Amino acid sequence: MPSIDIPYPELQINFSYALGQIRSRYLQDALMQTIDDLNIATLDRELSEYVPEAGLKILAKQGLRGELLFPVPSLLSANPYLLGYYRLLLGFSQKEFYTTKFGVSGFKSMESTGVLTEKNRGVLPELCKGLISSATFLIEGIGTDRLSKKLLDDLTLLTVGPQLRGGANNKRGFDAIATVFKSIHDIVEHTATDSCDSKIELVNAAGKKVLIQFAPDPDIVIKVAMGEGNFRNVIAIEVKGGKDFSNIHNRIGEAEKSHQKAKNSGYVECWTVVNVDNMDLELARKESPSTNLFYRQSALESGIGDEYEDFKNRILSLTGIKEQ
């Protein structure tokens, strides 16, 4: 009888963490979070203005809100990353979607960096109309009886799979963030009370709830509960997974923009994790003065050494978690 030796499923393990980061930025989790921060009256008014009444009625019959399928300007203005949600929902790869053929090549920065330029803001209504037109065909093709929130989520995931397996740059970015999240998970796992692919919940030594989760900007955030529904923003982590040494300082500049937002949101500590080992640390500090600490991805991934121990001890100390 031949020897059976099935390899370690490293790819799927990495995917499980990467999926959490994607959910927080592009999928329904991100959509729901954005809606929480919007004026519903404004959203409903735009849905009524931009979406055919028949389409909204079909969704309403299934107990679904219109923005699950139809984007409107106020939604994409509030969170430009959500263009990625609607692209995934409609089943287009990035390579196929962001082309002059579709007329949306200039909008790629919305999905890739969360940036809505003034030029794009001016033509956002036309982008929404184009996406709504395609989404209307999607409803017709699916059929009213089969339409559900879960099915729409499944459709986005079907598009995400090939994107993770291909697209080396995107995959590298997701993998880097997933690697850091996994390192944190390994540090706090012994106190976890609940976890899923996008967040970890635990209780610290003082009996306070700690929330660690993926976020669209910065990449990973850690919060400690101060009362019912009230959290103190403790640590914001920006991960730059590119290995190109010549481009590292551009990526640090991007991290600085993210950390400035985090500081404005009250985060006590802002950390940047890079995937370049021989970076000029002094120059990096000048380029991102908002970064309190820099860590190397390789050091965190190794799980040993002074740099990893510093990362670990600060996570435990700042969140009030007892070491295992």
pLDDT digits (tens, 9 = 90+) for 245-271: 667 778 888 889 889 989 999 999 999
Which pLDDT score, from 0 to 100, does residue 161 have?
79
Encode pLDDT of 55-77 as tens digits.
999 999 999 999 999 999 999 99
171 has pLDDT over 60? no
Which pLDDT score, from 0 to 100, does residue 165 have?
66
Share of the chain above pLDDT 90, in %: 56
- Whether 85 and 79 have beta carbons less than 8 Å apart is answered as no
Distance CA 132, CA 5 (A): 49
Which pLDDT score, from 0 to 100, does residue 52 have?
94
Average pLDDT over residues 145-170: 80
Average pLDDT over residues 81-89: 96
Strand duo 220-227 + 192-195: pairing: unpaired
Average pLDDT over residues 131-147: 92
Q: Which H or E run contains 29?
A: helix 28-36
Average pLDDT over residues 153-163: 87
Ordered DSSP codes for 198-262 = SEEEEE-TTS-EEEEEE-SSSSEEEEEEEETTEEEEEEEEEEE----GGGHHHHHHHHHHHHHHH
Share of the chain above pLDDT 70, in %: 95
Cβ neighbours of residue 64 closer than 8 Å, sequence gap 6 or more: 147, 148, 149
Which pLDDT score, from 0 to 100, does residue 132 have?
97
Which pLDDT score, from 0 to 100, does residue 168 have?
47
Which pLDDT score, from 0 to 100, does residue 316 have?
93
Which pLDDT score, from 0 to 100, does residue 172 have?
64
Query: Could you give the domains of the chain?
Result: 11-166 (no CATH), 169-319 (3.40.91.10)
Q: Which H or E run contains 185?
A: helix 168-188
Average pLDDT over residues 230-246: 85
pTM score:
0.68
- pLDDT tier at 167, thresholds 50, 70, 90: low
173 has pLDDT over 80? no
Average pLDDT of the chain is 88
